[in-house]
């Protein structure tokens, strides 16, 4: 397949057709969803399509690092080009990178003046004027309605001055597509030109069109899917295929003794990639694919002791130690499509120990969550609000979390090994 065929067949074309055309100069498109459904992945797909089409993209990431967003772009683009067997992939990747600028801010305190300064910075120093501006992570309820409306209007005006379209993400409390724009976006309906709502549907995410060209459909129109294992866009009717070889899978873990080390050893033996998240002072025994988290990156996973106690139904005596582990687990689970934990299920359905936070995050973000209970010697899966027996789970997500207790039993170690063998066959011979 050549690049022209890829662009013409992109699901983004279907979305644009349903909207009556792509958002134009100064128009605002908003991607809305509950937490953890895939807003960032959707916006990055929009950015990838634009860059491949020869347009310039400015991606403003609030509360995220440049490296984190960059890895999303690279992973999704490489997957797209490999899956479609596009000619000249290396040149296309380099070309897309040259048409993309990522500007990250550690905080979410965004202003129109910040956007203008960023635009002017890159226009003056790099002769870079974007055709599409993406703003991800904006807090729509961080100010008064008047202040937020003024900010949105100013951002639209800034985009219009460049002849650029504007895309933003918005978190909502809704899980199903409403008949009208959900809160908090309903208060800014007059400023929103296109509205997309993401709805989870088993292993896909429906992309529903709520508003386009100043009209509100009587019912939300589902126009495409995001495959939740790879976060790639597919058109309805397509069957999302799993990655072709173990080398396309990535284990996200912490490299600590016990379950995490066993997951890492199996990943290496079966030829999978690893991302091992750690921080200064963290006790780990694996360094393959090591990612040392900075203070700013750890802060992304911050959770208050009060909230942690409320969710896990217990307190932790040494929060100074456990807090960083909790923060690093956020990175292990954030971009995974499924979570595997080895440990013990408590009577209240939480998972024992600090790594139980991985199961809690996975459940909260509606990922597929599995746990091997070492006391019962059997796998369970979280399903419809309870743990259900899952006799022989398999790894199906291209990015998955593997974590659990340091007190790994021989049965727990064998459960991890058997999981990899069921999923990938015999280990790679070296």
User: Residue 96's pLDDT is what?
Assistant: 92
**H or E element, residue 340:** strand 338-343
What angle separates helix 112-126 from helix 145-162, to the nearest 10 degrees?
A: 20
User: Residue 321's pLDDT is what?
Assistant: 63
The residue that leads in pLDDT, 139 or 67, is: 139
Cβ contact 423:395 at 8 Å = yes
Residue in 397, 400, 428, 402 with CA at minimum distance from that of residue 413: 402
In the three-class reduction of DSSP (H, G, I as helix; E, B as strand; rest coil), residue 214 is classed as coil
257: Cβ–Cβ under 8 A, 6 or more apart, which residues?
283, 284, 285, 406
Rounded to an integer, what distance in angstroms lies between the CA atom of residue 39 and that of residue 168?
A: 9
Tens of pLDDT, residue by residue over 299-337, are 877 776 665 565 555 555 555 667 788 889 988 988 788
- Mean pLDDT for 347-376 is 88
Rounded to an integer, what distance in angstroms lies between the CA atom of residue 69 and that of residue 82?
A: 20
Task: Answer whether the bond into residue 184 is a cis peptide, omega within 30°.
Answer: yes
Rounded to an integer, what distance in angstroms lies between the CA atom of residue 136 and that of residue 108?
A: 10
User: Residue 423's pLDDT is what?
Assistant: 92
- Mean pLDDT for 222-226 is 54
How far, rounded to the nearest angstrom, does the alpha carbon of residue 131 sit from its chain's CA centroid?
24
Residue 339 phi, psi (nearest 5) = -130, 130
Residue in 211, 158, 123 with CA at minimum distance from that of residue 25: 158
At residue 215 the predicted structure's pLDDT band, cuts being 50, 70 and 90, is low
Residue 222 pLDDT > 60, yes or no? Answer: no
At residue 224 the predicted structure's pLDDT band, cuts being 50, 70 and 90, is low
Tell me the CA distances in angstroms from 151 to 26, 58, 81, 159, 212, one per residue in order: 13, 18, 37, 12, 21
Range from 24-38, 60-74, 352-366 that averages highest in pLDDT: 24-38
Residue 235 pLDDT > 60, yes or no? Answer: no
- Tokens found for residue 225: 């899917």
- Mean pLDDT for 115-143 is 92
Rounded to an integer, what distance in angstroms lies between the CA atom of residue 76 and that of residue 85?
A: 14
Rounded to an integer, what distance in angstroms lies between the CA atom of residue 29 and that of residue 191?
A: 9
Residue in 240, 239, 219, 213 with CA at minimum distance from that of residue 16: 213
User: Residue 38's pLDDT is what?
Assistant: 79
Residue 407 pLDDT > 60, yes or no? Answer: yes
In whole numbers, what is the pLDDT of the chain averaged over residues? 84
At residue 228 the predicted structure's pLDDT band, cuts being 50, 70 and 90, is very low
Beta bridge partner(s), residue 208: 197, 222
Residue 231 pLDDT > 80, yes or no? Answer: no
Residue in 152, 159, 89, 150 with CA at minimum distance from that of residue 119: 159
Taking residue 348's Cβ as centre, other Cβ atoms within 10 Å add up to 8
Rounded to an integer, what distance in angstroms lies between the CA atom of residue 285 and that of residue 303?
A: 26
Residue 229 pLDDT > 50, yes or no? Answer: no
Beta bridge partner(s), residue 194: 29, 212
How far, rounded to the nearest angstrom, does the alpha carbon of residue 406 sit from its chain's CA centroid?
27
For the chain, domains (ranges, CATH) are 3-234 (3.40.50.300), 246-424 (3.40.50.450)
Residue in 11, 17, 16, 18 with CA at minimum distance from that of residue 45: 11
Residue 241 pLDDT > 80, yes or no? Answer: no
Residue 225 pLDDT > 80, yes or no? Answer: no
Tens of pLDDT, residue by residue over 186-212, are 999 999 999 998 887 655 677 888 888
261, burial (CB in 10 Å: exposed 0-12, middle 13-18, buried 19+): buried
Cβ contact 101:120 at 8 Å = no
Beta bridge partner(s), residue 135: 60, 168
């Amino acid at each position: 397949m050549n690049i022209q065929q890829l662009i013409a067949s992109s699901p983004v074309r279907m979305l644009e057709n349903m909207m009556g055309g792509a958002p134009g100069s100064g128009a605002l498109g908003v991607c809305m969803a509950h937490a953890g459904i895939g807003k960032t992945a959707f916006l990055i797909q929009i950015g990838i399509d634009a860059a491949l089409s020869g347009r310039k993209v400015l991606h403003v990431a609030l509360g995220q690092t440049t490296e984190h967003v960059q890895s999303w772009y690279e992973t999704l683009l490489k997957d797209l080009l490999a899956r479609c067997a596009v000619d000249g992939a290396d040149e296309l990747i380099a070309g897309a990178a040259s048409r993309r600028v990522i500007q990250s801010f550690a905080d979410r305190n965004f202003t129109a003046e910040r956007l203008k300064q960023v635009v002017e910075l890159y226009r003056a120093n790099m002769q870079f004027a974007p055709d599409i501006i993406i703003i991800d992570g904006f807090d729509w309820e961080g100010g008064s309605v008047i202040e937020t409306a003024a900010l949105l209007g100013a951002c639209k005006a800034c985009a219009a001055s460049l002849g650029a379209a504007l895309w933003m993400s918005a978190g909502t409390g809704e899980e199903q597509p409403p008949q009208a724009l959900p809160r908090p976006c309903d208060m800014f309906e007059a400023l929103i030109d296109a509205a997309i709502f993401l709805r989870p549907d088993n292993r896909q995410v429906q992309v529903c069109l709520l508003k386009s060209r100043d009209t509100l459909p009587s019912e939300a129109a589902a126009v495409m899917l995001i495959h939740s294992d790879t976060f790639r866009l597919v058109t309805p009717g397509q069957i999302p295929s799993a990655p072709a070889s173990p080398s396309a899978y990535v284990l996200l873990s912490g490299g600590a003794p016990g379950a995490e080390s066993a997951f890492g050893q199996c990943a290496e033996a079966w030829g999978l990639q690893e991302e091992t998240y750690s921080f200064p002072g963290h006790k780990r025994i694996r360094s393959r694919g090591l990612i040392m988290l900075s203070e700013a990156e750890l802060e992304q996973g911050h959770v208050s002791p009060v909230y942690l106690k409320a969710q896990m139904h217990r307190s932790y005596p040494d929060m100074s130690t456990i807090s960083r582990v909790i923060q690093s687990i956020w990175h292990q689970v954030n971009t995974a499509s499924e979570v595997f934990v080895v440990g013990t299920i408590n009577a209240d359905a939480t998972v024992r120990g600090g790594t139980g936070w991985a199961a809690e995050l996975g459940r909260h973000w509606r990922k597929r969550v599995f746990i091997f209970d070492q006391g019962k010697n059997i796998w369970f899966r979280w399903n419809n609000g309870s743990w259900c027996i899952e006799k022989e789970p398999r790894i199906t997500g291209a990015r998955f979390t593997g974590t659990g207790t340091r007190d790994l039993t021989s049965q727990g170690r064998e459960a991890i090994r058997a999981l990899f063998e069921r999923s990938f066959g015999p280990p790679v011979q070296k």
